[in-house]
Amino acid sequence: MLLEKLKKESLQARKDKDQVKASLLSTVLSQVKTIAIDDGHREPNDQDVIQVVKKFLKGIEENLELGKAGKLSQEAMEQAELEKKILLEFLPKQLSKEELKEIIQKSGAKNVGEAMKYLKEHYPDQFDGKTASQIAKEVLG
């Protein structure tokens, strides 16, 4: 489903002559296909899309941090924000900090490792690991 959405959005961006979106989505699609080929010449799937999108988002977040430190131009910051917005459409709904806090409290976890394991089992791809880890540390002391 995500793979089909990615293909459709990429095609539409090219038709609309939206250079930023078309370029970004074409690159993502290429990476997704590469992962599938490297993994035994299988067909790409939604999990591949999520993996690539998360990897790209991590790089964008790093760029935004550089921008906040004044090491990127305003134009580069705007580009990163736009790319982030585009890519977030391809991830499952992300849990809010409040939702994560509530889930961790109800999980019965005794330490951060147990909390993270619980989240990965029950809410895969729906949270940022760094944020979840920080919240688990707060909740579990």
Domain range list for the chain: 2-88, 97-140
Q: Mean pLDDT, the chain, as a whole number?
A: 94
Query: In the predicted model, what is the mean pLDDT of residues 125-134?
Result: 90
pTM above 0.85, yes or no: no
Q: What is the pLDDT, as a whole number, of residue 63?
A: 92
10-66 residue pLDDT tens: 999 999 999 999 999 999 999 999 999 999 999 999 999 999 999 999 999 999 999
Q: What is the pLDDT, as a whole number, of residue 56?
A: 96
The 3-class SS string of the chain reads CHHHHHHHHHHHHHHCCCHHHHHHHHHHHHHHHHHHHHCCCCCCCHHHHHHHHHHHHHHHHHHHHHHHCCCCCHHHHHHHHHHHHHHHCCCCCCCCHHHHHHHHHHHCCCCHHHHHHHHHHHCCCCCCHHHHHHHHHHHHC
Query: In the predicted model, what is the mean pLDDT of residues 107-117?
Result: 94
87-100 residue pLDDT tens: 999 998 889 999 99
Q: What is the pLDDT, as a whole number, of residue 72?
A: 86
* pLDDT of 125 over the 90 cut: no
Quick one: what percent of the chain has pLDDT higher than 90? 87
Q: What is the pLDDT, as a whole number, of residue 11?
A: 97
Query: May I ask the CATH class of domain 2-88?
Result: mainly alpha
